[in-house]
Amino acid sequence: MAKSRVKPLKDITLPRMELMGALIATRLANHVFDALRDTIRFTEQVLWVDSQIVIHWITGNKKLPVFVQNRVNEINKSTYKVKYCPSKDNPADLLTRGISATELKNSRLWWNGPTWLGQGDWPICELFDSPDPLQPETRSESPDVTQVNATEQPTNGSIAQIIDINRYSSFAKLLRVTALVLRFVSMVKGKGQTHNSTSPSAKEIREAEQRWIKAIQSDE
């Protein structure tokens, strides 16, 4: 079965729309399982989501905005395992991105799902399927992880306390807003220089990114 809804008239961020998709999928799955409960014995129920942000919300235990928390609570009332589906293998994208009737009729992905679904050779997502992806030795071997000195760790007044990261579906936009906020704070403290441009510089963008890295490392 399939179900889709149009985007609300009120502006909503992309991660929140993806969360609504997961909620619709949960409700649809509940309907299917209730209808087939007397004829089929289910040994495992899996909710496939192609948004890693949404999976973090569903499987995490952090305090979330009310809008997000209410929908996460409803999803978590089910007994489904939540796993990551690569976007290229997600049949729902055929609806959200648009497809002609002819293409839909001949789409193997739409009518049969991803090839690995029936074979049991499910994709592995290192962020969620690894037994312990944050072991110290894993972190030290990774060249992409920024090492932060303990004395530089942000306090409770970190950037995450000032800017709600969930409001931004674009990482670039988040960094621009963060850079302008940091510029304003420096000017208020009398430490910042006067800027002729309303756009942040490359240096300010880098500083904003470092602030978020430190804040998230400290939180985790």
pLDDT in tens, 99-111: 899 999 999 999 9
Which range has the worst mean pLDDT, 25-34, 61-70, 130-139?
130-139
List C-alpha distances in Å: 81 to 14, 56, 135, 161, 178. Answer: 23, 13, 23, 31, 35
Which residues have a Cβ under 8 Å from the Cβ of 205 and sit 6 or more positions away? 175, 176, 179
pLDDT in tens, 171-187: 888 998 898 888 888 87
pLDDT in tens, 185-213: 887 776 656 555 677 888 889 999 999 99
Query: What's the pTM?
Result: 0.56
On whether the CB atoms of residues 30 and 78 are closer than 8 A, the answer is yes
Q: Is the pLDDT of residue 43 over 50?
A: yes
Q: Is the pLDDT of residue 76 over 90?
A: yes
Q: Is the pLDDT of residue 143 over 80?
A: no
pLDDT in tens, 10-35: 888 888 999 999 999 999 999 999 99
Q: Which of 179, 167, 172 is nearest to 208 (CA)?
A: 179
